[in-house]
Amino acid sequence: MKFFLDTAEIEDIKKAVALGICDGITTNPTLIMKSGRNQKDVIQEIAKIVSGPISAEGIGDTTEEMVKEAEEFSTWAKNIVVKVPMTKEGLNAVRILSKKGIKTNVTLVFSPSQALLAAKAGATYVSPFVGRLDDIKEDGMLVISEIMQIFRNYGFATEVIVASVRSTKHVVESAKLGAHIATIPPKVLEIMWHHSLTDKGIQTFKEHYEKHKNTVK
């Protein structure tokens, strides 16, 4: 299973890269806005740190606009993946971009039927948003399970990026379902490291080591 980081914050990316757990990056206009920086500058800086896929998202509505944006983004670095929205125009852009060898990530996917259409269009990745489905009292992980079943049935090469991840449970459930990738916000990634019994166990072992070390030769 690959871990992507869902962020445009350089310091967070550097930390995850140093720990060897950053297989790629996803961004969106909200994350770029939060960074307070120009999209091209941020993406190019990320590309100096991360060799895996880096998703960049545009705002085009028509197929033509999306293809134009994608062509520009793909000049920024060799590992750019272009995020395209789950619309008819978006999937037309995916078809065109896939012929041009530009990798795509179909975003704002909320149902198995949308994922199936994106895979048939030749998307490199699809991003179902589990957290936003949970927010409206639907079952985000059920959608992942259905998409994985469909992709396996037909051997689609399209990889599933579980997005809108809000908890460690989302990541663990994604792994159990065999999702290819989870794109994880830095805050959630941090929580994944910890368990109170780990901290307690380390403390106890240290105490016992100290207690024992002067009692035997």
Residues that bind ligand G3P (CB under 6 A): 6, 26, 28, 129, 131-132, 163-164, 183
Write the secondary structure of the chain as one string of H (helix), E (strand) and C (coil): CEEEEECCCHHHHHHHHHCCCCCEEECCHHHHHHHCCCHHHHHHHHHHHCCCCEEEECCCCCHHHHHHHHHHHCCCCCCEEEEEECCHHHHHHHHHHHHCCCCEEEEEECCHHHHHHHHHHCCCEEEEEHHHHHHCCCCHHHHHHHHHHHHHHHCCCCEEEEECCCCHHHHHHHHHHCCCEEEECHHHHHHHHCCHHHHHHHHHHHHHHHHHHCCCC
Least separation in angstroms between CB 26 and ligand G3P: 5
83 catalytic residue (yes or no): yes
Nearer to ligand G3P, 136 or 157 (CB): 136
Of 14, 15, 68, 83, which residue is the catalytic one?
A: 83
Nearer to ligand G3P, 70 or 100 (CB): 70
Least separation in angstroms between CB 24 and ligand G3P: 12
Nearer to ligand G3P, 5 or 93 (CB): 5
Q: Which residues are catalytic?
A: 83
